[in-house]
Amino acid sequence: MKTFTIEIEKDGKFYIAQCREHSNCFTQAKTIEETIHNIKEVLELMLEIRHPRIKVILKDKLVNIL
């Protein structure tokens, strides 16, 4: 099974996630956990993949905040 790389960054009140391999797969939410859940749903719906494996990369600004 392929692993998808997801970049997450903070923009104001929201966390934004985008898949590196498929730039049209993106989402946002108020927590990192919800954002990860949402991007998995996007991958499942758009690519018809059940339970996609993801590797999460936090952008530099977000890492500094955490």
pLDDT one-digit tens code per residue, 15-47: 999 999 998 999 999 999 999 999 999 999 998
What lies within 8 Å, CB to CB, of 36 at 6+ separation is 6, 8, 17, 54, 56
Residues 41 and 20: their CA atoms lie apart, in Å, by 16
> So what's the pLDDT on residue 58?
87
Structural domains of the chain ordered from first start: 3-57 (3.30.160.250)
> So what's the pLDDT on residue 23?
87
